[in-house]
Amino acid sequence: MNRKVLALLVPALLVAGAANAAEIYNKNGNKLDLYGKVDGLRYFSDNAGDDGDQSYARIGFKGETQINDMLTGYGQWEYNIKVNTTEGEGANSWTRLGFAGLKFGEYGSFDYGRNYGVIYDIEAWTDALPEFGGDTYTQTDVYMLGRTNGVATYRNTDFFGLVEGLNFALQYQGNNEDPGAGEGTTNGSDADSGSRKLARENGDGFGMSTSYDFDFGLSLGAAYSSSDRTDNQVTRGYGDGHH
């Protein structure tokens, strides 16, 4: 498929990212950052489904609260708004991220909500471009490959402070087969019935990732996940009961 892209990035507040976020509040151990962007984006493609205006705006908040010397609460919410639709057209905005958790010093962190699956921990290394990065298997609301619902995640950096550069994560995902779930109009739901597409349903599952950062700029990592199929998937012959 022949496809060309014209992209114009216009920072709405500051470019997304913790290092470039606009600090709204920082007092007495409580901190709130705001980030966002507007992306003027157009695809030129022979595929009618891809060709055309793909512009969007994005905004997010990151917050922390210092509970005591060892315990910190944190959360993040990120929202996406399509700006290539007509006024009154439905399903043109959605929540990308929404989770809250606790950090326990060198003992790691635990959070729950809509977040990235642990498989993305490794795939994120190739998802560095403004557009088309990490396209090999990044899919939203498909098990633990990308952004997804209902994930409980434990993360540990530098292996409890004992091994610098050794990081790992453990993740559990609950069953997701509710109607209307998923990002956007067609990303997670059937346009006719409003129900979640079979490929974007998931049963209970778990995953893990690990990485080691060498002191000369090289990192090695691996990730694994396994999930049950939903009853709908099994009934309709979608796989053998596991993913």
The pair of structure tokens assigned to 15 is: 């470019």
pLDDT of 238 reads: 64
Quote the CATH superfamily of domain 109-243. Answer: Porin (2.40.160.10)
| pTM (two decimals) | 0.80
Structure-token match 């998802």, residue found:
127
List per-residue pLDDT tens for the chain, 243 residues long: 445 555 454 444 434 334 467 899 999 999 999 999 888 877 777 777 677 777 888 899 999 999 999 999 999 999 998 887 767 666 678 899 999 999 999 999 999 999 999 999 998 888 776 666 666 677 788 888 889 999 999 999 999 999 999 999 999 998 887 655 566 534 444 443 445 677 788 888 999 999 999 999 899 999 999 988 877 777 776 666 566
In the chain, domain spans: 1-103, 109-243
127 contacts 113 by C-beta, under 8 angstroms: no
R_g over Cα of the chain: 19
d(CA 239, CA 40): 39
